[in-house]
Amino acid sequence: MIARLRIKFSVIILLIATFIMFLAFYSNYAIIRDAFYAQSMNLLNHAVETGHCDKSKTFLLIVDSTGIEQQIGYERNDAKELAAIAQRSKENVGEIKDKELRFLKKDLQNGTLIAFTSTAAETTALDNMTKYATKIITAVVIIFFGLALFLAYYTTKPVSESIKKQKQLFADASHELKTPITAILASSDILLSGDISEDNRNWLNGIKTSAEDMSYLINDMLSIANSDSEKQKLKMECVDLSELVTSACLNFEAVFFEAGKRFDYDTDDGIYIEGNANSLKQLIKIFLDNAGKYSNLGGNIFLSLKRRYDKTLLTVYNSGDPIPNDELHKIFERFYRVDKARTVKNGSGLGLSIAKRIAEDHGTRIGVSSNDSGTCFFIEFKNVKPKNI
């Protein structure tokens, strides 16, 4: 997260600096270009008004109906061609770019006076200016980017260290809490297996349920702490997704049956993807567990795993209260609950956040839709062909 923030900061600074440099360059370029233009127009106007010209860069042509009557200034072998081009122009001022010339026309009683001046020096100067400015801007951009990265790293270093300490505390606390929670659960099971009164049994069942909820929360916290570690990389391999999904469905059949909910599933066989088996098991469990928690009493839960050309779509649907449209994008945030009615459900509020992280690790995203009939989560994977088949 901090690394992405540093890069964003550096890119923003870089874009601002680049924009300012380009603006400065274009302003100078426009000023110099206009100065060259004004200088050449002064030469042309002087030549037209006085009939005298700078022989090194300016020449005059007097053209009548029979052709060129007189040429003043340095001689041009292509004078007829230049006169024809200038006369075809509807404007009195124009440029012949391939000849690097600018001209000014003035009508006379018996013909037309056309003054020409060279724009070679102007073109060379502007081209050189553009070339050197490009090199300078490129160098400055690289320097600015390096400086921005350094400043971003320096300014965010305390925040980064603080976040690392929080993550470590998060993981350490979760590990420390696992031992007493495990002891509470074991003790509760031992006491419940003995001969105790109904009141005490109810108290113990309440303790066991609370301890189980805490255990789920600790496991989810550990999972998030591990996923936040920058050094952790999932080992990807060819996984039989059909087998993973079917196994999870078989495990949840009894759970949903005891909860009084109807559960159906339809999976295609022989679907293989590139992924991490343990993470995918957790992803499927989160989807099914979430469907069981938020489906209505006596409601329906349906899982589908179907091929779609070179991809596979996993869909988990449950009937129940819909999620408001303005809340859909928030349900993957950590500890987020849609409304008070949904907070009564058991769980840590971290499941969908973990599922989102697993999906991102596998190069895909989770989609969700919700209406009056229920809620549907779906995720698409790219199929692969196993090497041993």
Rounded average pLDDT over 271-285: 91
Question: Binning pLDDT at 50, 70 and 90, where does residue 11 land?
Answer: confident
* Contacts (Cβ under 8 Å, ≥6 apart) of 28: 129
108, two tokens: 């006379």
Rounded average pLDDT over 271-293: 90
pLDDT, residue 127, reads: 92
Q: Could you write out the DSSP letters of every residue in 298-318?
A: T-EEEEEEEEETTEEEEEEEE
Report pTM. 0.53
| Per-residue pLDDT tens digits for 302-311 | 999 999 889 9
Rounded average pLDDT over 48-64: 78
- Residue ranges and CATH numbers for the domains of the chain are 2-124 (no CATH), 237-382 (3.30.565.10)
How many other C-beta atoms can be found within 10 angstroms of the C-beta atom of residue 192?
14
| Per-residue pLDDT tens digits for 206-261 | 787 777 767 766 776 666 666 655 445 678 899 999 999 999 999 888 889 888 99
Tell me the C-alpha distance between 43 and 134, whole Å.
31
| Per-residue pLDDT tens digits for 323-359 | 888 888 788 877 666 654 444 455 556 778 888 888 9
Tell me the C-alpha distance between 209 and 201, whole Å.
12
Report the amino acid identity of residue 73: G
Residue 292 confidence (pLDDT) above 60: yes
DSSP state of 238: E
Q: Lowest-confidence range among 42-51, 159-168, 279-288?
A: 159-168
Tell me the C-alpha distance between 172 and 279, whole Å.
22
Percentage of residues in the chain having pLDDT higher than 90: 24
* Contacts (Cβ under 8 Å, ≥6 apart) of 161: none
Q: Which residue in the block uniquely carries the two structure tokens 């996993």?
A: 314
pLDDT, residue 6, reads: 76
- Inter-residue contact 113 to 52 (CB < 8 Å): no
Q: How many residues does the chain have?
A: 389
- Inter-residue contact 6 to 167 (CB < 8 Å): no
The HSE-up count of residue 94 (CA atoms within 13 Å, CB side) is: 17
150, two tokens: 């350094």
pLDDT, residue 338, reads: 62
